[in-house]
Amino acid sequence: MEEKFTVPYCRKILGNAGNKLSDQQLETIRDTFIAFSDYVIDSEIEKLRLRKNEKTYENQKINP
């Protein structure tokens, strides 16, 4: 998989703040951001799945 968030790209996104950080610090920030993003996406998918199951359950109670 191609790395989209390279250190130079992260540095560019952060502007002046990125210029003050080491490559290792940028990698840590990037990796944390990616992990958090994955968590948020998985959480939203789980909420949608639970809502769907809830609706299915309610429909079964109404139409046995």
pLDDT score of 63: 64
Q: With 90 as the cut, is the pLDDT of residue 39 above it?
A: yes
Q: Report if pTM > 0.85.
A: no
Locate the domains of the chain by residue range: 7-62
pLDDT in tens, 40-51: 999 999 999 988
Q: With 90 as the cut, is the pLDDT of residue 25 above it?
A: yes
pLDDT score of 32: 96
Lowest-confidence segment of 3-7, 32-36, 43-47 by average pLDDT: 3-7
15: left (phi over 0), alpha (psi -120 to 50) or beta: left
3-class secondary structure, 40: helix
- Average pLDDT score, the chain: 86
